[in-house]
Amino acid sequence: MQSGIVTSYQGLSTKIYIDIVHVVSSAPGTAFVPLSSSFGFFGRLIPSFIDYYIRHKISRPALVAILMVPEAAAFILLLSSANTSLFISTAIIGTCTGAISSIAISITAELFGTVNFPVNHNIMVANIPLGSLVFGQLASHVYHKEGVLSGDGKCIGMECYRSTFIL
């Protein structure tokens, strides 16, 4: 059950980041959304390669834990003000999210069985839209506050978004 909770928490934090990744960039037309999507696709291939080459020597919950280490480091790297750290973090988060998303389906089946799999999986991923709603409301209050503090009412750039990443 704990691996399901960990997977749900991971899904909440990274899916929220991916949902707002286009807002994080201050210039229109930047490549954060395609970067995240592309690395998410390649991340979905990682569990297949690991299963093929290692042949079940690593359990799926252990693989999720291993993948969460670079993802946590990427979230910490987001606190840096360098633009390259934003690109690198987005790529790492996209890769780890893709890999964990593909593993989460089989973990749900292993934890709860396949009898009521659709219901169980939907319950497991229901936290993502609910968390996006709650965090989105919280983030909008923080962005508004930062915009008021800047004087012109606009919240643009890494300095503005740093406090939401700390949350």
Predicted confidence pLDDT, tens digits, the chain (167 residues):
444 444 444 555 666 666 666 565 555 556 777 787 888 889 888 888 887 787 667 888 888 888 889 998 988 887 777 778 888 888 898 898 888 888 888 888 888 888 888 888 888 778 777 877 887 788 778 777 777 766 676 666 666 666 666 66
Q: Has residue 132 been placed in a domain? A: no
Cβ–Cβ < 8 Å for 94, 43: yes
Q: Has residue 165 been placed in a domain? A: no
* Residue 151 backbone zone (phi > 0: left; psi -120 to 50: alpha; other: beta): left
Q: Has residue 162 been placed in a domain? A: no
Question: Residue 153: its pLDDT value, please?
Answer: 67
Q: Has residue 164 been placed in a domain? A: no
Tally of domains in the chain: 1
Question: Residue 70: its pLDDT value, please?
Answer: 93
Q: Note down the domain range covering 118.
A: 2-127
Q: Has residue 75 been placed in a domain? A: yes
Q: Has residue 92 been placed in a domain? A: yes
Cβ–Cβ < 8 Å for 95, 39: yes
Q: Has residue 22 been placed in a domain? A: yes
Q: Has residue 49 been placed in a domain? A: yes
d(CA 136, CA 156): 16
